[in-house]
Amino acid sequence: MKPLFLLLIILISLPAFAGVSDAELLPQKGAETTQPTAGNPSSGEEPAWGLTVVMLLLGGFLFMFLEIAVIPGFGVTGILGLLLLGGGLVTAFMKLSMPMALTATFTAIIGVILLLLWFFLVFPKTSMGKQFILQADASSKDGFVAVDDNSAYIGKEGVTVTMLRPSGIAKIDGERVDVMTDGEFVEKGVKVKVTKTRQNTVIVTPVEEQAQS
């Protein structure tokens, strides 16, 4: 799929910039010679600048494709791809005739659309895409496991291993757990009960205090 996709981009890009016809290169009889100006280069300069634009656009497409297909995300290669595409378009409008500059813009737009379509429609069905989606799901689930683990302590009792001032360590179900009170200090060796969690922090209250209340 990747070679076919790159070939499609090349076929779209090359016809617009692959040189000029013989009629354009040979001076016409009776035609006046003009000096090349910015945005209106001579026929001898335009093929060279056209090749430069082609290379910039293809480089941009390549780096964006690598960003999507090889290292999904939005990192250095993606930014570099956008910079190359932008550089190609700026060069086209500065050094090429208006029709060719517009063709470069059209080519860039079509290429970006094809990349997006490939990313949303084809990439999820590839082995790499499936692996990327599974990793994202696993990371999301891992984030919830941490919350569930602390919530599981609610209602359980333990003994303070250190003094709570108001935070410290308590031993609950044979595990050392970082805990905190609602503000009061609790001595070491006091029996406590987990009453709630606050932003994934285990909140405890002395059992004696609960009995009195």
Q: Where are the beta strands (DSSP E) in the chain?
A: 157-160, 167-172, 175-180, 191-198, 201-206
Partnered with residue 172 across adjacent β-strands are 158, 175
- pLDDT higher than 60, residue 179: yes
Residue range 196-211, pLDDT digits in tens? 888 778 999 998 754 4
Average pLDDT over all residues of the chain: 72
Between 70 and 189, the higher pLDDT residue: 189
Instruction: Give the distance, in angstroms, between the CA of residue 106 and the centroid of all CA atoms in the same chain.
Output: 25
pTM beyond 0.85: no
- pLDDT higher than 80, residue 194: yes
DSSP 161: S
pLDDT given for residue 73 in this prediction: 57
- What amino acid occupies position 87? G
Residue range 39-84, pLDDT digits in tens? 555 555 667 888 888 888 888 888 887 877 666 555 788 788 888 8
Q: Which residues contact 118 (CB under 8 A, 6 or more apart)?
A: 5, 68
DSSP 198: E
Burial class (CB in 10 A: 0-12, 13-18, 19+), 81: buried
Residue range 104-137, pLDDT digits in tens? 888 888 888 888 888 788 777 776 666 666 655 5
Gap between the Cα atoms of 66 and 78, Å rounded: 8
Between 17 and 203, the higher pLDDT residue: 203
- What amino acid occupies position 183? G
pLDDT given for residue 35 in this prediction: 44
Between 42 and 86, the higher pLDDT residue: 86
Mean pLDDT value across residues 125-153? 61
Phi, psi of 33, rounded to the nearest 5 degrees? -85, 140
Angle, helices 98-117/46-69, rounded to nearest 10 degrees = 10
DSSP 123: G
Helix (H, G, I), strand (E, B) or coil at 35: coil
pLDDT band for 144, please (50, 70, 90 cuts).
Answer: very low
Phi, psi of 88, rounded to the nearest 5 degrees? -65, -40
